[in-house]
Homo-oligomer: A and B are copies of this chain.
Amino acid sequence: MTIKSFNPPIRTLMGPGPSDVHPRILEALSRPTIGHLDPIFVGMMEEVKSLLQYAFQTENQLTIPVSAPGSAGMETCFVNLIEAGDQVVVCQNGAFGGRMKENVERSGGIPIMVEDAWGKTIDLNKVEDALKANPAAKILAFVHAETSTGVSADAKSLCELARKYDCLTIVDAVTSLGGTELRVDEWGIDAIYSGTQKCLSCIPGISPVSFSERAVERIKSRTSKVQSWFLDLNLVMGYWGASSKRAYHHTAPVNPLYALHESLVMLQNEGLENAWQRHAMNHEVLKAGVEAMNMEFLVDAAYRLPQLNTVCVPDGIDEAAVRQRLLSQYNLEIGAGLGTLAGKVWRIGLMGFSSKLENITLCVNALELTLKDLGHDFTTGAASEAMLQTLKSQERA
């Protein structure tokens, strides 16, 4: 059998990621490949580091893109900072906190779990109790923006607690970077990882990370080797370090880094705080439409992520049939629930380039037509009216 070239359909991506990739970024991606040791490429790597420092709001020297997806960025943080027997307090209120636990165990550490319900934010009191009860704990790990639930954590307060109990922090910012407020230096985050396919609107496959001086010191003073050769920052630092003395480690994903560079230039040009504001405002418009269709959000407004909207599926509606119809009829992707939320919620992403009015109107209108047809009870047209009122109150130009 002869296999032919693959031509993907044109989708609108409003799931939990990947988000829509801006045509400028796709165009940058396809520029001619050059060598990963070419001085011009090395210069570009320096720019990527600077742009990531801006996006993370940090001056950390060790701020680089890991040459693999967010899961590998997560693993980079854990395998480098944990040595055998280290106690790590892990907050879990969704799927990705659970993955952190797996990482601690596989790195030889001992996880101390602080659990909250899926859809609730991390309870600071429970975290403090755990830190108090486990004075030997060396690290506090938590998810800033839980992609499985749409919940935001109070990262600033959690970092304060960690410092109070002399712990380093490992923070999952896969879905928050570029979408909601995140200040690595001001909040005192020690190790953080993100993904490119969420609020940066870049292709999936790269994981930006950043490490504080304290974290770097701990990595450099390890008594055992990092268990992963590929993710060993002692080696990776030589590759992404000062351009005058770069040591070959692996071959960087040249073209995906062109794309990341372009997405970060776009973020720089928009301005980080403007991007945060855009995500916040667009969430309000979607919210107006969703609520006018008599649907509820899973997450309390106080800690709801504007870029990842977890909407409860109305009683009697087959959620998979709705998603399937949106995809086949409208080329529109929204996300399913994960883990304990499977079948109960949709996850509607308004991330990066996907966070724009045209996407919201498509999504709300397509949902309106589909839900009405499947028998869900609400007043047609109310969504548009509600969205218009929200837009007016935001007084957009």
Contacts and interface: CB of A to CB of B under 8 A. Distances in A.
A143 interface: no
Contacts of A259: 255
A99 interface: yes
Given A51-B3, A71-B250, A26 B33 contact: yes
Contacts of A248: 338
Q: Which of A71, A256, A269 has the largest count of B CB atoms less than 10 A from its CB? A: A71
A333 B211 CA distance: 34
A205 B203 contact: no
A34 B5 contact: no
A203 B256 contact: yes
Given A3-B268, A5-B262, A6-B47, A21 B11 contact: no
A35 B15 contact: yes
B327 A71 contact: no
- Interface residues of chain A: helix, strand, loop or mixed (majority): loop
Interface stretch (A152-160, A180-188, A226-234): A226-234
Interface of A: 1-11, 13, 15, 17-18, 20-21, 24, 26-41, 44, 47, 50-51, 67-72, 74-75, 79, 99, 102-103, 105-107, 195, 197, 203-205, 225-230, 248-256, 258-259, 261-262, 264-265, 268-269, 327, 333, 338
28 contacts: A4-B265, A5-B24, A5-B262, A6-B261, A6-B265, A8-B40, A8-B44, A9-B32, A9-B40, A10-B32, A11-B32, A11-B35, A18-B36, A29-B255, A33-B197, A36-B204, A38-B333, A67-B68, A67-B205, A72-B72, A74-B230, A75-B229, A105-B225, A106-B226, A203-B254, A204-B252, A205-B256, A255-B256
Closest 4 CB pairs of A and B: A205-B253, A30-B30, A68-B68, A71-B250
